[in-house]
Structure 1
């Protein structure tokens, strides 16, 4: 009986389309070939292998029409930023005038930067899109010359505002009987909301005015847009 009812409904729909070009369910004024004014339910669907599926997704626009959109429009490939870089040999710092005893770390090698979001000439990352970013930085010091407190930090600059220190690890170098006991590596990380055009850069801090004091150092950073 159910099969007969379904056949009858399909036949009526086909006849309606042939005669009137548009069929409405729960509406006397259909605006499309099939205009359903109400919930639409599908009991079962066929699974589609990735290799045989069209590269599109069904979406509903603001007028209620079902349309297709490429999945690359929803998740643009390559637009999510992922950047990493390193610095080796002597760690050269450029003073950050707004932050006492802080200097910008200059990295000399990019490992990943498909979208050119990090400028190796001024060592600044510029956010390409509004989003949530995970930022990590570290440096390892093999020796420190006349240095007391050493630290590392992540700075964010929004527009014309002053750079803001958003994450930091800093502590004093200690030694016991002339043997250094402080960890050689300073590291810090943060998850931060950035707007397009916001800048991120990295700094190192020393408790003495001279910032060109670290020798035999190595540094590493990563920036990953997670949403």
Structure 2
């Protein structure tokens, strides 16, 4: 008994002022275990809120850390977004496009966004996790404001043109005979932090009036895998 007490008295100062290693002579944490460990029993907890602190994870270096269950679940939620124009927007939103240039379509409202990835101020989607995404956008222009020339939609990834659908406006006796709807759809592989924006394109100087009704002008982004 005296021997056990003596060893504990010798160990207490080490525990209080140094790092302790089990299976290693070079500990890098307060308690550094080089090997497996086992919990023979745990205390039951009936508090539902305790779940947010109950997940123990181990990083690539073997460091044990705590992470909330909410953040783990959200990190695996697939992206589902639908947006368009705010209900308070003018019925007709005019955007000016220079010749052979691109102008951001200012979608400024969200109907739903499961991972909070779309910024309505910058009109930009930023992926929170890697995957394959299905991307779609549609707008309806005011036929009275369209001029003859190339006009369509484009999707940019990280500020670089990724895909474009353009349509030549055709006039007959000064009357536009092509439909005012424009749409684009594509699959895109994104990594964490990649951005997506929707832009209008024109082969000439053009002012386009976009009808802001949600049933006519909107976009969707959803993660397919």
TM-score range, shorter chain: 0.5 to 0.7
Q: Determine helix, strand or coil for the equivalent of 1:186.
A: strand
Cα root mean square deviation, aligned: 2.8
Contact 1:128 1:196 in 2 (8 A): yes
Contact 1:138 1:187 in 2 (8 A): yes
Residue 192 of structure 1 deviates from its aligned partner by 0.8
Equivalent residue for 1:154? 155
- Residues 47-126 of structure 1: matches in 2 within 5 Å? 76=73, 79-87=77-85, 89-93=91-95, 100-126=100-126
Residue 177 of structure 1 deviates from its aligned partner by 3.3
Equivalent residue for 2:208? 213
Per-residue CA distance 1:92-140 (angstroms, 9 max, x = gap):
44879xx942100001321111321100000000001011100001111
Q: Is there any run of 5+ residues in structure 1 with no aligned partner, and where?
A: 1-71, 158-162
Equivalent residue for 1:223? 221
Residue 195 of structure 1 deviates from its aligned partner by 0.3
Equivalent residue for 1:51? none
Contact 1:91 1:105 in 2 (8 A): no
TM-score (norm 2): 0.57
TM-score (norm 1): 0.57
Contact 2:97 2:202 in 1 (8 A): no
Q: Separation in 1 of the partners of 2:210 and 2:220? A: 22
Q: Separation in 1 of the partners of 2:126 and 2:116? A: 9
- Residues 157-196 of structure 1: matches in 2 within 5 Å? 157=158, 163-196=159-192
Contact 2:101 2:203 in 1 (8 A): yes
Q: Determine helix, strand or coil for the equivalent of 1:91.
A: strand
Contact 2:100 2:202 in 1 (8 A): no
Residue 144 of structure 1 deviates from its aligned partner by 4.6
Contact 2:129 2:191 in 1 (8 A): yes
Per-residue CA distance 1:74-105 (angstroms, 9 max, x = gap):
x9467211111112633344879xx9421000
Residue 168 of structure 1 deviates from its aligned partner by 1.5
Contact 1:136 1:187 in 2 (8 A): yes
Change (3 A) 1:196 1:93: farther
Q: Is there any run of 5+ residues in structure 2 with no aligned partner, and where?
A: 1-68
- 4+ long deviations beyond 6 Å: none
